[in-house]
Structure 1
Amino acid sequence: MPEPRSGGHRPPRRRAVLASAAVGLTTALTTTLSGCSSASGTTAGGIALTFTWWGNDDRAARTEQAVRIFEREHPGVTVQMSNGDFGSYLQKLATQAAGGGVPDVVQLDYRQISQYAGSEAIMPLDDAIRDGTIRTSTMDASLVRTGTFGGRQYALPMGRGITGYAYDAALYKKLGIATPRPGWTWEEWAQNNRKIAAARLRGPDGRHFTGANDGGTNEDVFEDWLRSRGGRLYASQTKLGFSEDDLTEFWTFFDRLRREGAVAAASDTAQAISTETSPIGRKLSAADFTWDATFPGYPQLLGDGIHFAPVPTTDGRPGQYFKPSMLVGVGAHTEHPKEAAQLVDFLLNDQRAGDILGFTRSTPPNKAIATRVARTLKGPEREIYEYAETMRKYGVSDPPSAPPRGDLAIETAFNREYQRVMYGLATPRQSARELINEANRELRS
């Protein structure tokens, strides 16, 4: 269900797959990136565009059906589509970009915007927005800004996501723990975990149950924690927005809870590469930090007693914000920029495309389409939509601009340095110092 991130079970950041079933779709697109033409062209019948994305079979089948409508309405234009799993997609796209062959229309992760815009692998969309080829008036302006680099618009959000906690509501009720509400605090979260651990329940392998997965490896958890204290990950494209003290405090918080047995053991955290292999997925913990769009995979795996809760706050101040689950851009070397822009607009703003695509890329950025499609949602999908509306009303801050080009390497280092803490190879402060030194080198390069 989730699209894995590197190292440990850290649910996807700006990239998520919603597991709603595709009614009436019985076939899935199985083309891989290796079969994708990396450049646009003109066929005997007209214009051929390439369009690539990552995602599961449901997303592929829905996307294919929507694009076929676009082709019917644009005679002479054909779209060669391909998709792959997230890891292979990133690798293939990096190879294509290095060779100057990014596809005409390309799905991008939030962290790729600075990289590909800065290297001129994707083209600015400002002219297409100004002349109305791509419409953004029905989208939230702060979300649209996440696709900017250097003051220009290089990509547009395909979905809107927000973080939360998947938790065992049945267990919380059994132990008399209050249902998490917007505004609950990190201290309350920690006390809940301690109370669950104190109950001395046992998992399937006979070991004691813990309150939650260990969030210390997860840079997303740190960002929410940091922002709830008025901080931020990056002050600019070349400067961190947090200090050694900030990171030391965060890692000390989780390190202490792990030592107490309130959150998952180091070995369980280290081997978690998916929901299924995470502590909550193995029925060893009661909660897990995740994304709204990946949440439906939890009740699917663990039962209807799993629900979605807000991320804890600091004195009521949330650190969450609405982020693009993924974005869409146009290759800088496309031979058909107009038609590529028309396809982007169709995917984002056409009502028929919206009905077909649904929430497969999280909440649609077009507000009218999101409201329309939401009426059809049921079960966990309905829960995450209502959750997002609850958080919108509670109040979250605007998203920051796209992360700097060194962010992917920093994320990997973040996981590695906390694992050193987990295994007693470094103190939280020693690892915090190492992380900041490495991050500064990445940001300067």
Structure 2
Amino acid sequence: MPRRSSGLAALCLTGVLLAATACGGSSGGGDGGTVELRFGWWGNNDRAAATQRVIDAFQARNPGIRVKGSYTDFNSYFDRLATEVAGGRAPDVITLGGAYPREYGDRGALLDLSKTGLKTDRIGAAALDNGKFGGVQYGVPTGVNAIAVVVNEAVFDKAGVALPKDDTWTWDDFKRTATELAGKLPKGSFALADPTRTDMLDAYSRQRGEALYTADGKVGITQPTLVDWWTMTLDLQRAGATPPASQTAELITQPAPEQSLMGRGQAAMQFDWSNQLTALGKAAGQPLRLMRLPGESPRPGMWLQASQIYSINARSEHPREAAMFVDFLVNSEEAGKIILADRGIPANSEVRTAVQDVLGEPEKAQATFIDALTPKAGPPLVIGPAGSTDTPKILDRVNAEVLFGRVRPAAAADDFIRQVGTAIQ
């Protein structure tokens, strides 16, 4: 699930992107009539290598179609995509997440997948609805995941701190655990990186009967909830449980798993998406585990979410072939056995069953975690309205002011609510 991304100010809002242009058949292209598709996603080198293997497998089955992959790190991906869409140069198959299917779909930039014949009957409605807005299926999920606490037990053991019981721990328990770790970890290591991110605000506020956004498209999180959150994170920073503000600002620009404190072996905990377990464990050089968020009782804030969404560019000259490729990505057991759980536990039930026996230990841990969470998860997430893709950067800016001590939590809360409200009007 995306953490931070830019807005879509670069998008043309005057109807230059018309879905009708992609509803016809395919036109020829490339050498000897070969159709060339472009496929864009975000990720690290490991994801790129696996994705290329999937592309190779698809091309072997469809010799008349050539797929050109393109990827970048998460922070750069949406900036580049906004520029490509505005310039009419977006990939044929686009990877999205969060509010982006709505943002781009509402502007006519995405094809209605229900018109392509793409099969979705093996994908659960909860995950499928992550790509459906206003009755239009703008995207299909790559897999299912959840926000979680990634834990390095070895760091806990070296510090002599007991692991909390994740079925009962509260935010006070979390704060005590993080503070205890801070007093026992070596210099340069921390209990966790600063936890302020939009998905965590959503989970934290949902536990209080709120949400980051309301169903009618307004800001749902309240000022007292934000004040409590920032009061807690400031206490963690002062205790040395999280890095100083300058290091947090640096870490924000380094989103890859291997660049994180957890990936460097310098953190005991990290709030992240469950599908990041494999990459983080590989970077850290040791097995990690997943735990539920603090404060999940009596009202759960965690939810099941499509980890990523595949959509088709409404301007694609080859919508039929693009739909064939998306079908291969989400419905093919062959692709599933290559991707495994990197993009979440497969959303297609048949693919999920097919990969079960070939999953590695981290992927099995993800599947077990999702299975255990499913009956305990809260209601579906309210996806942000148009303009909400600005929220992560707004949060980063306001959070920096708090951590550097330039703004108090109450003023920061008011400023955050005001800026987000303006962005989504």
Specify the TM-score bucket, using the shorter chain as the normaliser: 0.7 to 0.9
C-alpha RMSD of the superposition = 2.8
Assess if the C-alpha contact under 8 Å between 1:213 and 1:285 holds in 2. yes
C-alpha change, 1:383 and 1:414, in structure 2 (3 Å) is same
Q: Does 1:214 align with 2:194?
A: yes
Residue by residue over 1:46-88, the C-alpha shift from the partner in whole angstroms, topping out at 9 and shown as x without a partner, is 5333333233333333333333443444453333433333344
Using a 3 Å threshold, how does the CA distance of structure 1 residues 434 and 76 change in structure 2: closer, same or farther? Answer: same
Alpha carbons of 1:77 and 1:167: their partners in 2 closer, same or farther (altered >3 Å)? closer
1:120-269 matches, cutoff 5 A: 120-128=108-116, 133-173=117-157, 175-198=160-183, 200-203=184-187, 205=188, 210-215=190-195, 217-236=196-215, 238-269=217-248
Where does residue 356 of structure 1 map in the other structure? 338
The separation in 2 between residues aligned to 1:416 and 1:247, in whole angstroms, is: 15
Structure 2 CA distance for aligned equivalents of residues 430 and 98 of structure 1: 36
CA distance in 2: counterparts of 1:338 and 1:305, whole angstroms: 42
> Is the contact made by 1:149 and 1:402 (CA closer than 8 Å) also made in structure 2?
no
CA distance in 2, matches of 1:385, 1:226: 26
Distance 1:367 1:389 in 2: 13
The one of 54, 60, 64 equivalent to 2:42 is 54
Alpha-carbon displacement from aligned partner over 1:396-443 (angstroms, at most 9, x marks no partner): 124335422322322111122122111211110000101111111111
Which residue number corresponds to residue 86 of structure 2?
98
The count of residues paired between Structure 1 and Structure 2 equals 401
> How far did 1:247 drift?
1.2
The structural deviation recorded for 1:278 is 4.5
Is residue 2:347 matched to residue 1:365? yes
**CA distance, structure 2, for counterparts of residue 67 and residue 298 of structure 1:** 24
- Relative to 1, partners in 2 of residues 1:337 and 1:233: Cα closer, same or farther, differing over 3 Å? same
Identical aligned residues as a percent: 30
Q: Is 1:341 matched up with 2:317?
A: no
What is the match of residue 65 of structure 2? Answer: 77
2:402–2:409 CA contact under 8 A, matched in 1: yes
Rate the CA distance shift 1:416–1:153 in 2: closer, same or farther, 3 A. Answer: same
Q: 1:233 to 1:344 in 2, by over 3 A?
A: same
Which amino acid in structure 2 is aligned with residue 309 of structure 1?
Answer: M
The Cα of 1:221 is off from its aligned counterpart by 1.6
List alignment gaps of at least 5 residues for structure 2: 7-25
**Cα distance, 1:344 vs structure 2:** 1.4
Q: Distance in 2 between matches of 1:383 and 1:443?
A: 37
Q: What SS does the aligned partner of 1:240 have?
A: coil
Give yes or no for contact 1:164–1:308 (8 Å, CA) kept in 2: yes
Matches within 5 A, 1:231-310: 231-236=210-215, 238-272=217-251, 273-274=254-255, 275-276=257-258, 278-280=260-262, 285-304=267-286, 306-310=288-292
Q: 1:47 to 1:266 in 2, by over 3 A?
A: closer
Offset of residue 179 of structure 1: 4.2
- Shift of residue 98, structure 1, vs aligned partner: 0.8
Deviation of 1:145 (Å): 0.4
Q: Distance in 1 between matches of 2:224 and 2:323?
A: 46
CA distance in structure 2 between the partners assigned to 1:201 and 1:63 by the alignment: 38
Residues 279-316 of structure 1 deviation map (CA, whole Å, 9 limit, x = unaligned):
55566542221122222333334343643222112434
- Is the contact made by 2:275 and 2:366 (CA closer than 8 Å) also made in structure 1? yes
Partners of 1:408 and 1:231 in 2: CA distance: 19
Distance in 2 (alpha carbons) for counterparts of 1:108 and 1:3: 8
Which residue of the other structure, out of 261, 281, 306, is the alignment partner of 1:324? 306
- Label 1:108 to 1:315 Cα distance change in 2 as closer, same or farther (>3 A): closer
Given candidates 388, 395, 398, the residue that maps to 1:414 is 395
Report the more deviating stretch, 402-411 or 282-291. 282-291
After the TM superposition, which segments of 4 or more aligned residues of structure 1 sit over 6 Å from their partners?
none
Q: 1:410 to 1:246 in 2, by over 3 A?
A: same
Can you give the 5+ residue segments of structure 1 that lack an aligned partner in the other structure?
8-38
Q: Deviations over 1:139-195 (max 9, x none)?
A: 110110010122211111112221111223234356352443234221211121222
The 1:60–1:201 alpha-carbon spacing in structure 2 relative to 1, beyond 3 Å, is closer
1:30 aligns with none
Conserved? CA contact 2:142–2:306, under 8 Å: yes
Distance (Å, rounded) in 1 between the aligned partners of 2:51 and 2:240? 45
Task: Give, in whole Å, the separation in 2 of the partners of 1:77 and 1:405.
Answer: 34
Q: Judge conservation of contact 2:167–2:292 (CA < 8 Å) in 1.
A: yes
Amino acid at match of 1:226: S
- TM (normalized to structure 1)? 0.81
